[in-house]
Structure 1
Amino acid sequence: MKVPPFEQFTGLMKATGLLIAGGIIGCAVFTAIYHHHLNTVLIKNKELQAENEKLIQDNNSYKKSKNQQSTINQIDVTVESGDLDPLDKVTEQEIERRLRNDLSVVKGQKITYFAESPHVYQRLLAQKTYHAIQDKDYTVNVKIMLLIHTELKVWVTAKEWRRTVP
């Protein structure tokens, strides 16, 4: 039995190899583009969910105290990065959500109670560590707390908490 010579199939083998390599590269490029768009959509969805949750909480507090002008009705939290590397949007929103939950005890209180002892509320958040935010821990420090009409505005800096080994 005679084996056919492969010299006549070398062009066909090169074309087949090029076709397979092109398919693999095209699949990798498509997957990268798809992953990028999916990541963008997921981040936008997380932002909208956080905004929706905040608006629902604000709406409920307004319904409860719409006729009372001397109580704190709204809490606005602004998170700034304390390190050289900035925080991503999802991390900022999670820290804001946790801070609003911690400060929810202030909602509905009279403004005079807050004005008498603002240092108590600052100590509530001083050097507070939030655990397990995207597999990292963050320490929060209060920069400024302002009370404007019925809105409490809080500016904080968040740094990644790193355990120091003695």
Structure 2
Amino acid sequence: MRVPPFSRFRRFTQISAIFMLGIVVGAVIYNAIYHVGYNVLWLNNADLRVQIEQYQEDIKTLKKYNNTSTVIREIKIRSEESKAQSEGSNPVDPVTLKLILSEIRSDLEPMRGRSMFDIDTDSKLVRLLLDGKLYIVREKEYSVRIRTMLVMEGVLQIWVEISPFKRN
């Protein structure tokens, strides 16, 4: 039996190899686009879950203290960009930031229902408890520094600076 010469099939093998390479490259590009979209969706979902949890706590507190106007009914925590982040250090990603803020919010939960007029002693207590506290999120350590505290119309607003903790 005679075997046909390979030179007759060279063009066919080249075309089929390019076709298979195109299939692989197309699959990689499609997978990358899919994962970018899924990541955006996951980040939005995590953000909305934190917001829902905060709103549920606020609703419970507002129902409990709706007749009294001189107590802290809501706690809002905002993060500021730290000086270390602006100097070139790695910024804290949004999911980690949300998790740290939710942990801070749970640490500040005893402040709800406290009198707004006692904020001078409470602010000292909060600063002692939280200033420089380490939070471990996603196996990394972050330090928290309180920048500003403000109470107005039953809302305690706290601005914090979150930065990765560096051991000396």
TM-score by length of 1: 0.93
2:76–2:156 contact (8 Å) kept in structure 1: yes
Aligned CA RMSD, in angstroms, stands at 1.2
TM-score by length of 2: 0.92
Q: How far is 1:117 from its partner? A: 4.4
Task: Decide which of 142, 162, 165 is 2:166's aligned counterpart.
Answer: 162
1:129–1:140 contact (8 Å) kept in structure 2: yes
1:81–1:157 contact (8 Å) kept in structure 2: yes
Please give the per-residue CA displacement for 1:11-63, whole angstroms capped at 9, x wherever unaligned: 10001101110011001001100110010100000011011111101000000
Distance 1:8 1:117, change over 3 A: closer
Aligned position for 2:127: 122
Counterpart CA distance in 2 for 1:44 and 1:149 is 30
Structure 2 gaps of 5+ residues are none
1:39 equivalent in alignment to 2:39: yes
- Letter of the 2:12 counterpart: L
Aligned position for 1:14: 14
1:24 equivalent in alignment to 2:24: yes
- What secondary structure is seen at the aligned counterpart in 2 of 1:153? strand
Counterpart CA distance in 2 for 1:15 and 1:135 is 49
Aligned position for 2:93: 88
Please give the per-residue CA displacement for 1:91-145, whole angstroms capped at 9, x wherever unaligned: 11111101110100100111222234421121111100001x2231100000111
Number of matched pairs = 163
- Letter of the 1:8 counterpart: R
The sequence identity of aligned pairs, in percent, is: 28
Counterpart CA distance in 1 for 2:56 and 2:133 is 26
1:135 equivalent in alignment to 2:139: yes
Counterpart CA distance in 2 for 1:154 and 1:33 is 38
Q: After the TM superposition, which segments of 4 or more aligned residues of structure 1 sit over 3 Å from their partners?
A: none
- What secondary structure is seen at the aligned counterpart in 2 of 1:109? coil
Structure 1 gaps of 5+ residues are none
Counterpart CA distance in 2 for 1:126 and 1:96 is 14
Counterpart CA distance in 2 for 1:55 and 1:145 is 20
2:131–2:144 contact (8 Å) kept in structure 1: yes
